[in-house]
Structure 1
Amino acid sequence: MQHRYRTIVAVLAAALAVGVSPPAAWASPSDDPQLSQSLDPDQQIVHGERVLRTGHVDMGPRFDNGRWRFLIHDDARKADPGAASVWRHPDETVLQVADVARLPVPADPAYAFIGAEPATPVWVVPQTQNPDVVWVGWNTQDPQVMQRVDRGVTLSLTGVQGPGVVTVYLHSGDFGKPQVLWDSRRAEPQPVWVDVNTHTHANWVFTRPGAYLLRLEVKAQLRDGTTVSDTQLIRFAVGTATPAADALAATWSGSAGPAAPAPLPGTSEAAPSPWPFVVIAVVIAVVLVAGVAVAARARRARRRVFAARTGAGR
């Protein structure tokens, strides 16, 4: 009995552990010393078209005058102490992946998920910085984000538009298998849980040159119970010959994704038709009435049988 009790407790503990963990792939901080950083709360959010070809770049949430936004952190100061690191708007920013980023696909079957034959050249934004290639990652280190967010955020890929396959994966560096986070061939949203105060970089692989749009959503629950979310298109121009202007001008032509866009100010969404609910209510009412009628007939029948038996016994 005691052994059974311990088993039940262990099972319940495991279930609770699963229950409190977000149902998503985990993107944990690396031990890479280059990932050690803290963000200045006074860094500006700037407007203006910008092509980022090299340097340190993070995507992440930021509060803009109290509004939850998904922005791109251009850490220009990391490479040039005289420059200013700023936050940029994704619809004004292009991440250019030059041909120097081309690498052959490994012959290892563990990399079959890339979607190209072994030895085929693909464009790779590496997890570890290559100074000649834009270094793309994400962070949840904005001071207000760390102060106001409860536990962490969910970063989801909800769609990809481009000429080739896009995969994003982590590699621990200890000869373990790649951990695939996102794959453009999957139609469903692909969530990744990211704790607050996290700074992570991953491997971004593009099988063909051209302009790509990656539709990303960052969602979180704040400590006050409010749920916040923002979805943006991250623009990549892959290949030296791909004009950044093509990525900048690209528009989303796919589905709207799992979340319907919010109505514009001054408009209202059409109310759902009440007729399906009316039909369901009518059907339920008919069934209830029929049930009551059948029950009443049954009671009357039992009374008649009882009365007949009682009269026969006199």
Structure 2
Amino acid sequence: MAVSALLALTLAAQPGLPAAQPGSPDPALDQSIAPDQPVAEGPAVLAAGHVDLGPRYVDDEWNLLIHDDAAQPVWRDPDRTVLQVTDAALRAVPDDPVYGFLGVPAGTEVHVVPQVQHPDVVWVGWNTQDPRVMQTIDRGVTLELAGVDGPGEVVMYLQDGTFSEPQVLWRSTEPPGQPMWVEVNTHTHANWVFTAPGVYLIAIRASADLVGGEQVSATRHLRFAVGDATSTDDALTAQPDEVAAPPPAEPDPAGADDADDAGGTGPWLVVGLVVVAVGLAGALVVVVLRGRAVRRRVEQERAGS
């Protein structure tokens, strides 16, 4: 599973943001995008071929679309596009501690969208090569993992050569964010690992500073149908809060009893305290009256004697 595209990895201009710079020796990453490429209207299932996620202006609005050049190059709406990862992508996790970041035991089969193109697996990357985007952004774009809904975990990493250590970019087990700096005119692919078959919705945010001083941002969901048995129709219609939603928490019987007891006895306890207070006040009045009566009787006896 240690696939690589021999990418030249460097540190980003912004500290703490991993980046892959252009200029890769892989000729498959050399591309340019025409300014008049259309946005496809119909739904699509992409099970093979080359696709990139990238910012693009649509009706003068900053957006995040899927660039598909498997046939005639077009841009696609992520909400109407399913990326199908078939069982041709199954790989066993190597028995090597360097892959411990995947969080699954060695030998476990996982679905991998590879960093280098596999003819039977959809090849998913990202680019900042739309002509208007290149003209208007200031140096580059920040991509963030805004959230993952699915039955397993998702990890994306780069590897510069077969023997170098992986560079983890995104992990669904980490808090949302994990910003990645992508310079202008960049085209990069990475390894995407899915630890379980099923439908995944991966929310990705693309933000940038423009040369005019404005800030732009857009968040879209990539729809993955992982595994041959996973329905692409389900992936197309899935909503984030419906994918692998955690079961509702079971009520704690002991806690419920405690709550009932607290709710039931609380008012009665107050009433009881009021009754006790009234009783004590009444007893105090009786004691005072009796004391006065005794004092008067003693004074009368003294006067008579």
Alignment TM class, shorter chain as reference: 0.7 to 0.9
1:27 alignment partner, one of 17, 20, 33: 20
- Structure 1 residues 184-223: Cα deviation after superposition (integer angstroms, max 9, x where no partner): 0012311100001000000000010000000100000110
1:75 alignment partner, one of 54, 58, 69: 69
Larger Rg computed on CA atoms? 2
Q: Is the 8 A contact 1:27 1:192 kept in 2?
A: no
- Equivalent-residue separation in structure 1 for 2:13 and 2:88 (angstroms): 43
- Equivalent-residue separation in structure 1 for 2:162 and 2:84 (angstroms): 30
Q: What is the CA-CA distance between 1:65 and the residue it aligns to?
A: 2.1
**Aligned counterpart, 1:138:** 126
Which TM-score applies when normalising by structure 1?
Answer: 0.71
Q: Is the 8 A contact 1:22 1:193 kept in 2?
A: no
2:35 alignment partner, one of 33, 38, 41: 41
- Equivalent-residue separation in structure 1 for 2:146 and 2:95 (angstroms): 30
Q: Which amino acid aligns with 2:55?
A: P
| Count of matched residue positions in the alignment of Structure 1 and Structure 2 | 231
Q: What is the CA-CA distance between 1:158 and the residue it aligns to?
A: 1.2
- Equivalent-residue separation in structure 1 for 2:148 and 2:55 (angstroms): 20
- Equivalent-residue separation in structure 1 for 2:37 and 2:62 (angstroms): 16
- Structure 1 residues 17-57: Cα deviation after superposition (integer angstroms, max 9, x where no partner): x9962542213333211000000111001221110000000
Which TM-score applies when normalising by structure 2?
Answer: 0.73
Q: Unpaired segments of 5 or more residues in structure 1? A: 1-17, 78-83, 255-314
2:202 alignment partner, one of 214, 230, 243: 214
Q: Is the 8 A contact 2:205 2:217 kept in 1?
A: yes
Q: Is the 8 A contact 1:153 1:218 kept in 2?
A: yes
- Equivalent-residue separation in structure 2 for 1:22 and 1:206 (angstroms): 28
- Structure 1 residues 78-110: Cα deviation after superposition (integer angstroms, max 9, x where no partner): xxxxxx210000000000000010000011111
1:152 paired with 2:140, answer: yes
RMSD: 1.6
**Aligned counterpart, 2:97:** 109
- Equivalent-residue separation in structure 1 for 2:228 and 2:162 (angstroms): 32
Q: Is the 8 A contact 2:12 2:18 kept in 1?
A: no
Deviates more, 1:228-237 or 1:186-195: 186-195
1:57 alignment partner, one of 51, 60, 67: 51
**Aligned counterpart, 1:304:** none
- 1:108/1:229 CA distance change after superposition, 3 Å: same
- Equivalent-residue separation in structure 1 for 2:199 and 2:128 (angstroms): 27
- Equivalent-residue separation in structure 1 for 2:108 and 2:29 (angstroms): 30
- Equivalent-residue separation in structure 2 for 1:20 and 1:147 (angstroms): 19
Deviates more, 1:40-49 or 1:245-254: 245-254
- Equivalent-residue separation in structure 1 for 2:214 and 2:233 (angstroms): 38
